[in-house]
Amino acid sequence: MIAKSTIDAVFETARVEEVIGDFVQLKRSGSNLKGLSPFSDERTPSFMVSPVKQIWKDFSSGKGGNSVAFLMEHEHFTYPEAIRYLAKKYNIEIEETEQTNEEKEKADEKESMYLVAEYAQKYFSNTMMNTDEGQAIGFSYFKERGFTTDTIKKFGLGYSPQAWDAFSKDALGKGYKQEFLEKTGFTIVKENGSLIDRFRGRVMFPIQSMSGRVLGFGGRILDSSKKAAKYLNSPESDIYHKSKVLYGIYHAKQAIAKEDNCYLVEGYTDVIQFHQAGIESVVASSGTALTPEQIRLINRLTKNITVLFDGDAAGLRASIRGIDLILEQGMNVKVCTFPEGEDPDSFAKKNTHDELVNYLATNAKDFIQFKASLLVDEAKNDPVKKAGLIRDMVTSIAKIPDRIQREIYIQESAKIMDISEQVLSSTLAQLMQKDVTEAGKKQKQEQQKQAMQPVKDEVQQPRERINIKDALERKIIEILLLYGNAEEEFNDVYIKYDEFGKEYEETETKSYKVYERIYLNLQEDEIEFTNPVFQQLYNLIINHYLQHQTLEVNTFLNELPQELQQIAADIYMQDEKYSLHEWEEKKQIPVKEKKMSVANYTTEHIIDLRWLLLGKLVEDLKQQVSPEADNTELLLSVRDYNMLINYLSRKISRIRSKFY
């Protein structure tokens, strides 16, 4: 178990903007930072980070919380994992008590698989660096590739011995269960029960998540005489999904965000050689076609991708087809090819850092221009091929979501292919109209399908209505979190009577902390929230204020149970939603400002809530009236509460007429 002193040190040290900045490209927006949601596929930023409040809020998914909550949501860490990650990031020594056997057994399956993968990386690395076989085969191979010892250690490279079950035996001897060795794919269990190491006799490349966790491995065989695949990857598992990871993303993420560009290559050694040459903003698709999930990983860090191709043009035509998927994501794509016979690995090894940087800057071409030039060379004077390439070219342009960018590419392509813009624009319009028509047909089919549903289904599923009480109770929580510490002048209105018995109002101004005012006002009617979650949260907030006379929100959130932490962060950050989206500026939708003072803003919502709950109380009392009983007390209570409701109605009318 991690000691409380370590947990406290982590929360005191960790900065939410620094933690999230490792995963999401953030840009300044007033006093906050914003970026694209890492939890949904969006193109308009709706992800807010508040350095002042030390919390984050994702308005597209509804998630929110502190830095630990982000790691738990984004990296699927357990709470202890998130604390360990932050302790490592900020060089905080972890103090912990020894876990019992029962606590170890409770570790979930996924965590066990992560631990096996982490152990495997250390085993393969140790085997290569500290055994004769590892030095003679694995280490010498990497040295021949030109990798320094520092580079080998940086990427955690290793070697799996040739013995049939060397790794499996060692892991079992260290207490790791066969079940998880098998599920992670390191061990293959034969029918007779014997074990075989999947990666035996291979040099090993650990594949890490964006946070640095080992997910799986790529293993390269060195004995060409064996009839086996040159490269072998870990099988799909609960922790490793090949289509969702990019090799090198952990080491590249900061450089990608800083340079606002990502170099995309095919192989592990391409990535490693570029890093050694001083260019760290590079990742590999590991020989697979790009997937939307992989593109979104890059899109969190930058909108710009430069795809690096080998000098061998044989498979170039087929390779570039997959890049249309990047264009669909609204990203900017450039292509750079190396001289014939060269690949990123060999070219980086032969050139200095400055020479490599200069080559990339000089030879990187916009993807559309590159593709047009390539297709023109293929078609040459063949009219049939040229007609085909025009459609191929325009198909790529049609993938681009931005209309202005499409128009610019049409102009550029027309010049390169020596054809009129009108022809290309017409072809583009046809393709896009086809997409619209198909989308319309699909929508119509869905509507027809819904129309075929029995009418009773619609009756059984009424439209969701806004719960006004929930909204008001939520607003009270928001006021406590946002303004509870503030000291304000509140007006107390008293009903008095003159010497002739005529009623009049007298106003008295008093100074209160906002939390005091809310507490006292809600106590007046012994009001409790109807939503049990809000009531629990309200009690915790008020008790904290009453004990400490103040509340630091980021500290308070850390003290909340996990299930309440996100709710509180969501309420707290909701105040930033409209400024985040800049509705008034960009969408011409005016945003209602809080023109009234905090005191009046607070009073308005307290009265609204009291008025609503008192109305419910009156209705409940009326239900208790019985023709057979003496209802005098009930009716007097109804009268009194109705008088209070009328008084509150007049009071709230005065507030609103003054400010609206």
Joined tokens for residue 615: 């109305």
Looking at residue 590, what is its pLDDT?
42
Same domain, 498 and 363: no
Joined tokens for residue 241: 């999904």
CB atoms within 10 A of CB 619: 10
How far lies 55's CA from each of 50, 65, 179, 325, in Å? 6, 5, 39, 34
How far lies 596's CA from each of 299, 520, 657, 659, in Å? 41, 21, 11, 6
CB atoms within 10 A of CB 255: 17
Q: Is residue 442, in this structure, part of any structural domain at all?
A: no
Q: Which CATH number characterizes residue 316's domain? A: 3.40.1360.10
End-to-end CA distance of the chain: give it in Å, rounded.
56
CB atoms within 10 A of CB 118: 14
Q: Which domain holds residue 79?
A: 4-89
Q: Are 67 and 571 in contact (CB under 8 A)?
A: no
Looking at residue 441, what is its pLDDT?
65
Same domain, 65 and 157: no
Those residues of the chain that have pLDDT short of 70 are: 1, 61-62, 76, 96-107, 225-226, 287, 311-319, 321-322, 435-466, 493-505, 523-527, 547, 574-596, 633, 636-637, 640-641, 644, 647-660
Last residue of a domain, one of 202, 237, 272: 237
Pairing verdict, β 365-366 and 332-337: antiparallel
Q: Is residue 217, in this structure, part of any structural domain at all?
A: yes
Same domain, 156 and 11: no
Looking at residue 654, what is its pLDDT?
54
Q: Which CATH number characterizes residue 211's domain? A: 3.90.980.10
Q: Are 328 and 296 in contact (CB under 8 A)?
A: no
CA 23/CA 243 separation, integer angstroms:
18
Q: Is residue 29, in this structure, part of any structural domain at all?
A: yes
Q: Is residue 600, in this structure, part of any structural domain at all?
A: yes
Q: Is residue 518, in this structure, part of any structural domain at all?
A: yes
How far lies 115's CA from each of 63, 81, 125, 126, 644, in Å? 28, 11, 16, 16, 64
Nearest to 289, CA basis, from 248, 337, 326, 252: 326
What angle (nearest 5°) sits at the alpha carbon of residue 384, between those of residues 381 and 386?
60
Looking at residue 97, what is its pLDDT?
65
CB atoms within 10 A of CB 305: 24
Same domain, 504 and 545: yes
Strand arrangement, sheet containing 282-284: 282-284, 262-265, 304-309, 332-337, 365-366
How far lies 314's CA from each of 306, 309, 319, 377, 393, in Å? 20, 11, 10, 14, 19
Report which DSSP code applies to 508: E
Q: Is residue 450, in this structure, part of any structural domain at all?
A: no
Nearest to 282, CA basis, from 255, 303, 301, 309: 255
Last residue of a domain, one of 429, 454, 489: 429
pLDDT tens digits along 426-479 = 888 887 777 666 656 665 666 566 555 554 444 444 444 557 778 888 888 988
CB atoms within 10 A of CB 182: 17
How far lies 320's CA from each of 316, 325, 365, 370, 547, in Å? 6, 10, 13, 10, 64
Q: Are 621 and 644 in contact (CB under 8 A)?
A: no
Residue linked to tokens 């007006």: 491
The greatest distance separating any two alpha carbons of the chain, rounded to the nearest whole angstrom, comes to 114
Looking at residue 582, what is its pLDDT?
44
Looking at residue 166, what is its pLDDT?
95
Q: Which CATH number characterizes residue 54's domain? A: 3.90.580.10
Same domain, 255 and 207: no
Same domain, 548 and 576: yes
Last residue of a domain, one of 376, 399, 429: 429
0.85 cut: is pTM over it?
no
Number of domains in the chain: 4
pLDDT tens digits along 71-106 = 877 876 777 888 889 998 999 988 866 655 665 555
CA 255/CA 624 separation, integer angstroms:
70
Q: Is residue 463, in this structure, part of any structural domain at all?
A: no
Same domain, 202 and 316: no
Q: Is residue 52, in this structure, part of any structural domain at all?
A: yes
Residues 6+ apart with CB under 8 A from 381: none
CA 641/CA 523 separation, integer angstroms:
15
Element of type H or E holding 210: none
Same domain, 127 and 207: yes
Same domain, 644 and 589: yes
Same domain, 412 and 358: yes
Helix axes 421-451, 383-398, angle to 10 degrees: 50
Joined tokens for residue 143: 């040295």
Same domain, 519 and 416: no
pLDDT tens digits along 338-390 = 988 899 999 999 999 999 999 999 999 888 778 777 777 777 777 787 788 77
Element of type H or E holding 333: strand 332-337
Give the distance, in angstroms, between the CA of residue 19 and the centroid of all CA atoms in the same chain: 12
Same domain, 417 and 309: yes
